[in-house]
Chains A and B, each alone.
Chain A
C-alpha cells in the first residue's frame, strides 16, 4: 500500500500569515492531486501536478511537485479565514483508486 504522509497534521494560524503543508512518500508518483475539504462538505479538487519540479499557482496557493516525484508541497500566502479546511494530497492509482494522504487540518482565525 502506498502511503502519503502529510505534515503538519494540524495548523492554527492567524489571518495574514504564510504556511506550507507537505506531502511525502517513499514511492514515485506519475501525478499528485491536492483537494480541500471544508467542514460539512466533500473534497474539492484544487490542482494536479504531473511533472517533477513543476510549480502551479492558484491565486495565493502555490503547489510544487518534487523533482523526484515523491513529494509535494502547498504554500499559502497571507492566509484568510476562507482557507480553513482539510487539505488532502491524493494519488490516483490504477483502476481509478484514489489513495488519500493523512490530511492537514488548517484553521485560520481573524
Chain B
C-alpha cells in the first residue's frame, strides 16, 4: 500500500482553468504539507496542516487554496491557472513531534498551456 498517495500524477490544462490535486496518507500522521518543485528542482513549502488546522501558509497566491477534510487528507485547489503554476507539486506527511521525518508522495506534474 502506498503511504502517501497523490492524484492525479499528471495534469495538463489550459490557462484560466480551475483544478484540484488530492492527497491521502495512511500512516496515521497528524501533519500534512504541500510543496512546489520548480524546473530547477528547487523544493519550496507552500502549506502545512496539523490536525486539520493551517500551520504554515507561505507567500502563495490566493488562487491556491488547501483544504483538509480530515487528518488523512489534504487537497489543493488552484483557481485561474497561470503558466507560472507549471511545476511538480508534492504532498508530504509526518508526525508533528517528528517533523524532520516527512514522507513524500510521488508528485503531481502540472503543465499549464
Contacts and interface: CB of A to CB of B under 8 A. Distances in A.
Q: Do A and B come from one complex?
A: yes
Interface of A: 31, 33, 37, 40-45, 48, 86, 88, 90, 92, 95-98, 100, 102-103, 105
Chain B interface size band reads 20 to 34
A53 B62 CA distance: 43
Nearest to B99: A96
Nearest to A100: B43
B101 A95 contact: no
Contacts of A42: 4, 90, 92, 104-107
B105 to A, nearest CB: 5
B31 A88 contact: no
Q: Dominant SS at the A interface? A: strand
Contacts of A86: 41
Given A44-B104, A95-B56, A100-B42, 10 more contacts: A41-B106, A42-B90, A42-B105, A42-B107, A43-B104, A45-B103, A88-B43, A96-B31, A97-B45, A98-B102
